[in-house]
Structure 1
């Protein structure tokens, strides 16, 4: 059980009633006796009982004490269930499969936080997050003033305060100007990419980056898209390699995933020209633009778009926390109208209280303060990472010029970083093997990614040393 002592006692009693351990009319221990038994203050028990009285789980009978209320929930009468056999042929019943694939090959252990050297990407450091102000904003969002935004089914509408902040504050920093009818709130960038894929890429020829985001390839495979993987170089996606007949181009121009390369201005303009020649739409995944702490971020590709052919995907997952699952799509009004209708057919809209809490957090300035604090911490960790990597002789294959929270690494030839990663787990070290990022059959296995958002600076050097030792032990000569 979690929470305060009062909440834990309240939970203990409620669960006892719900499970049938305490029956209607049964007398509970007195506050004095329970406090003495648990070794806690009597007032703590009294407050817990008072809350249970208010919720009609308990009733007080004068000087007699506390009893389980006659109105308390009655535990269900579960009868023994006869053993059953599954007679459904699921191989035949499931015409389409979604489990497995490259994204699932990258699953980190659920207890990743217990590892001493977690070089994993995309997780939040609890030491950096602004718990106090987020809690205050959540309480405000739950208040009577925001009751409608919290409780009503808005059908396909989004929180106007959150949309307004994105339009007036977030997007202009990327050089983007959009009206409210050109913005859609999503359940993170993954949901935004799914919407874009369903609307634009079903049974069409699309171009993606390799290495690139593995989950995007899964979405495209589910959409029966004809996928052409375009190899990236040190400057990102080469526009001249986008093949003829391409209808949709998926790209990560600000921080290429996973190499962190940034597409130069000339290439951005060339990509827009290439898309215009092909009459193609570009989906720009700007998943990490807030993590530009070394230099000002480049203007978004969308900011250079004069034809309305760029669909922009943004997210608060990296700058706030992944579990928030809050992102947004920006595009021409006809596209957003269809995306809104498609979203409504699946989930209506992201939860109202989540949107309003985020809107409060952003509008009160807490978000900007958090981004600056995270940027300073990541800059310090990156400096430690680079010095440790140089000291232990590891090779960097790609790093963002503007910042980011990971480094793309290259191990010696013939190194299998998946086997390396499994071996490192025994040393309490987590890395991300690079093979799932690549398309095709003959993929290289020597690359890996090191994130540094979740590991304290004072553990980085030892963690890098363990990686170097493991690589030396896995080399062909060894």
Structure 2
């Protein structure tokens, strides 16, 4: 049987190149059983004319399909569906409509989905003024060199790294670079057995909490804090104590006597951007020694100190192995990479490594080796330098626009970072403000998510400058000021 060319059409919303879309059409037809072994495909000339594409595009698509054994070429006779082409398994599907009779709320207890969540705009790039935090500006990223490193990691030389199973271990090349180049920037000395790769900082916090906490232990966390941390701690069933932060971050003297683990963002407090002074850091470590507790340091913006040199990390001041350091490449590279690391005493890392192995073994080998090349070849440092320059310009533009519009800054960070922590007039709930601004093309981050449940209307909000162009900043800030002024509150 000859498959007519009219069987194929290019959907306007289909993604990929023309060649990829033609390959997909043919492959789907074979997998779905519409084209069977021995069926003849339209000639490349006839299909190209029908689809309105070049003949070479169709020929290349057919060639790739032959390489994957979907098609076979029979000299001058043309292309046919291969006798050994991949196909879906054939089985009889049960007739009638399917129903879901399980009471999943009872079965699962909704222990995880029942926790507080705050929706974020997935289509944030379509907004004119995206003051969104943590996303990547494609104009600043080094696409070409990342692509080159990814291709190098795909080569035969690194095949074992890409395709192999490390079991509970990590790519030694990436671990070595983190130990020799990344950690010394924060004053940290560590050997490979004290480092564990994670799927971002969130995964690192989860591993730390699972290893260190249980229903009989007490954790202290900052208020406000990173919202994901509360969900992580809830899963451990530990007792959680909220410690209100001030202009210098977490005050050590406010910690309860019976605390077992303290979670802190000492370098860039999330979300206020406060930096804990060295004297306070030393006091925190002294209390940890006196009261025998452990500190988990989330250094999530460790490369974003561009106004002046970063203060030493808590881990660099630690002389008793009481600090567990969490780092991430989400802010300096891109969040979709999902690559972070834990640094701690060897017994802790061994326990966290064993726990990780029961869940995900290790981050994908190809991702690890690509990142290792990107770092080792100097592209990472060049990218960070470019980010510093761009963020410095954007921060200045934000500062000028905020001052001009008379908006109130609650915290902006002395060392840099990528956001401002803002405060609206009393009586304004920034969740409502965010909804009104979104209708005008402005995205802000309401502050309620960062606070404990006891908070009512929350006047705080976060404005990030990592994903918005300089030219857009003044007009976006002006729109925020207009919406606040429209409330009549001062």
TM bucket (normalised to shorter chain) is over 0.9
- CA shift digits 1:273-293 (9 cap, x unpaired): 111121000000000010111
- Greater shift in the superposed pair: 108-117 or 311-320: 108-117
The answer to whether 1:340 aligns with 2:353 is yes
Distance 1:3 1:442, change over 3 A: closer
1:150 matched residue in structure 2: 162
In structure 2, distance between residues paired with 1:424 and 1:42: 50
1:388-407 map, 5 Å: 388-407=401-420
2:79 matched residue in structure 1: 66
Structure 1 residue 143: deviation in Å?
A: 0.9
1:87 matched residue in structure 2: 101
The answer to whether 1:99 aligns with 2:119 is no
1:4 matched residue in structure 2: 17
2:276 matched residue in structure 1: 263
- Greater shift in the superposed pair: 412-421 or 7-16: 7-16
1:55-204 map, 5 Å: 55-77=68-90, 79=93, 81-95=95-109, 97-102=111-116, 104-105=117-118, 107-203=119-215, 204=217
In structure 2, distance between residues paired with 1:61 and 1:408: 67
Structure 1 residue 79: deviation in Å?
A: 3.4
The answer to whether 1:252 aligns with 2:265 is yes
2:435 matched residue in structure 1: 422
Structure 1 residue 32: deviation in Å?
A: 1.1
Structure 1 residue 73: deviation in Å?
A: 2.2
Structure 1 residue 100: deviation in Å?
A: 4.1
Question: 2:262 aligns to what SS in structure 1?
Answer: strand
Question: 2:270 aligns to what SS in structure 1?
Answer: coil
Residues 428 and 457 of structure 2 are in contact (CA less than 8 Å); yes or no, is this contact kept in structure 1? no
2:387 matched residue in structure 1: 374
The answer to whether 1:208 aligns with 2:203 is no
Q: 2:397 aligns with which of 375, 384, 388?
A: 384
In structure 1, distance between residues paired with 2:26 and 2:99: 37
2:9 matched residue in structure 1: none
1:463 matched residue in structure 2: 476
1:233-252 map, 5 Å: 233-252=246-265
Structure 1 residue 206: deviation in Å?
A: 1.1
- Greater shift in the superposed pair: 378-387 or 42-51: 42-51
In structure 2, distance between residues paired with 1:230 and 1:46: 66
In structure 2, distance between residues paired with 1:114 and 1:60: 45
In structure 2, distance between residues paired with 1:128 and 1:89: 48
Residues 307 and 416 of structure 2 are in contact (CA less than 8 Å); yes or no, is this contact kept in structure 1? yes
The answer to whether 1:280 aligns with 2:293 is yes
TM-score, structure 1 normalization: 0.97
Structure 1 residue 216: deviation in Å?
A: 0.3
Distance 1:406 1:81, change over 3 A: farther
1:5-84 map, 5 Å: 5-77=18-90, 79=93, 81-84=95-98
Residues 420 and 474 of structure 1 are in contact (CA less than 8 Å); yes or no, is this contact kept in structure 2? no
Residues 60 and 66 of structure 1 are in contact (CA less than 8 Å); yes or no, is this contact kept in structure 2? yes
Residues 253 and 263 of structure 1 are in contact (CA less than 8 Å); yes or no, is this contact kept in structure 2? yes
TM-score, structure 2 normalization: 0.94
**Aligned pair count?**
475
Distance 1:278 1:475, change over 3 A: farther
Question: 1:289 aligns to what SS in structure 2?
Answer: coil
In structure 1, distance between residues paired with 2:164 and 2:114: 37
Structure 1 residue 476: deviation in Å?
A: 4.5
The answer to whether 1:365 aligns with 2:408 is no
In structure 1, distance between residues paired with 2:475 and 2:181: 41
Question: 2:125 aligns to what SS in structure 1?
Answer: helix
- CA shift digits 1:111-148 (9 cap, x unpaired): 11111111110000111111111111111111111111
In structure 1, distance between residues paired with 2:21 and 2:148: 22
In structure 1, distance between residues paired with 2:455 and 2:158: 54
Question: 2:324 aligns to what SS in structure 1?
Answer: strand
Question: 2:417 aligns to what SS in structure 1?
Answer: coil
In structure 1, distance between residues paired with 2:236 and 2:35: 53
In structure 2, distance between residues paired with 1:21 and 1:218: 48
- Greater shift in the superposed pair: 339-348 or 35-44: 35-44
- Greater shift in the superposed pair: 81-90 or 152-161: 81-90
Structure 1 residue 444: deviation in Å?
A: 5.2
Structure 1 residue 352: deviation in Å?
A: 0.8
Structure 1 residue 38: deviation in Å?
A: 2.7
- CA shift digits 1:356-390 (9 cap, x unpaired): 11101100000000111111111111111111111
The answer to whether 1:352 aligns with 2:391 is no
Structure 1 residue 474: deviation in Å?
A: 2.7
2:311 matched residue in structure 1: 298
In structure 2, distance between residues paired with 1:80 and 1:422: 46
- CA shift digits 1:37-60 (9 cap, x unpaired): 233322222111111111111112
- Greater shift in the superposed pair: 74-83 or 124-133: 74-83
Q: Unaligned 5+ residue runs, structure 1?
A: none
Residues 412 and 475 of structure 1 are in contact (CA less than 8 Å); yes or no, is this contact kept in structure 2? no
